[in-house]
Amino acid sequence: MSDETDVPRLCLNYYVGALRLVAVLAGTLILLGLSALFLAPELGGISGWLGAAVFLLFAVLLFGAQDDVRAIIQ
């Protein structure tokens, strides 16, 4: 178990990691939208479903990161 003074620093490291994951999510959604718009316009009908699949994938990843932070705090 870590010292009490290390807990805020460790939590900050996990939050920064989660923010990086959110940045990757934003980039993925932008690339998906641009590719559906310019490279494959025939995907226009299912691009919303593709975006929803990306959101679900990242929701699972971020939910796992939340459990890691709770383990450090307790």
Q: What global pTM score does this model have?
A: 0.63
Q: Are 7 and 69 in contact (CB under 8 A)?
A: no
Q: What is the mean pLDDT of residues 39-65?
A: 83
Question: Which residue in this structure is represented by tokens 């939590």?
Answer: 11
How far is it, in rounded angstroms, from Cα 56 to Cα 45?
19
Q: How would residue 3 be classed by pLDDT, with cut points 50, 70 and 90?
A: low
Q: Is the pLDDT of residue 1 over 60?
A: no
At 8 the pLDDT is: 66
Q: Is the pLDDT of residue 37 over 80?
A: yes
Number of residues written out for the chain: 74
Q: When comparing pLDDT for 18 and 29, which is higher?
A: 29
Q: What mean pLDDT, rounded, does the chain reach?
A: 77
Q: Is the pLDDT of residue 5 over 70?
A: no
